[in-house]
Amino acid sequence: MISFALWCENRHRFDAWFRTAAAFDEQVARGIVTCPGCGSPKVEKAPMAPAIQRATAAPSHPDQQERGPPAALVEALSALRAKVVAEADYVGDQFAEEARKIHYREAEERGIYGEATREDVAALAEEGIDVLPLPRLPGEAN
């Protein structure tokens, strides 16, 4: 059995089943197939509804050729640095000393940033003073 979407001369659409496509042609030719709406024997296959075009957007591939850290990361680090620089006091090479003073409440508790040697940072860590190295950004001198 095969189903055809048909319409008559008056554009009444209907579906009809036939044993074969050839049977359809034959029955239409003999005027056996009639429109259920108006009884017209002048029927033919209705044009198909226009096919819906599927969106064929290719999945986006991030640029694998990109060098260096992703832009989003650099942006996040830049924002972090900007926040530190904006909110903390710059203490230059007094960083370790100031960090200790703050830790031992000899100085006002505040955010500071400055220069510290690897040894300073290690010593501070031993004393239980957490320091966060500011991220260095690509393209930055030193």
Of residues 3, 5, 10, 45, which one binds Zn ion by CB under 5 A?
10
- Please report whether residue 33 would count as binding Zn ion according to CB under 5 A: no
- Please report whether residue 12 would count as binding Zn ion according to CB under 5 A: yes
Q: How far is the CB of 38 from Zn ion (least distance, A)?
A: 3
- Please report whether residue 42 would count as binding Zn ion according to CB under 5 A: no
Cα–Cα distance for residue pair 90/112, rounded to 1 Å: 6
- Please report whether residue 125 would count as binding Zn ion according to CB under 5 A: no
Q: Compare residues 34 and 94 and give the one whose CB is closer to Zn ion.
A: 34
Residue at 28: amino acid letter? V
- Please report whether residue 38 would count as binding Zn ion according to CB under 5 A: yes
- Return the DSSP state at 88: S
The token pair that represents 118 in the structure block = 């690897």
Asked if 11 and 46 count as a contact pair (C-beta separation under 8 A), the reply is no
Asked if 39 and 19 count as a contact pair (C-beta separation under 8 A), the reply is no
List residues near Zn ion by CB under 5 A: 8, 10, 12, 35, 37-38, 40
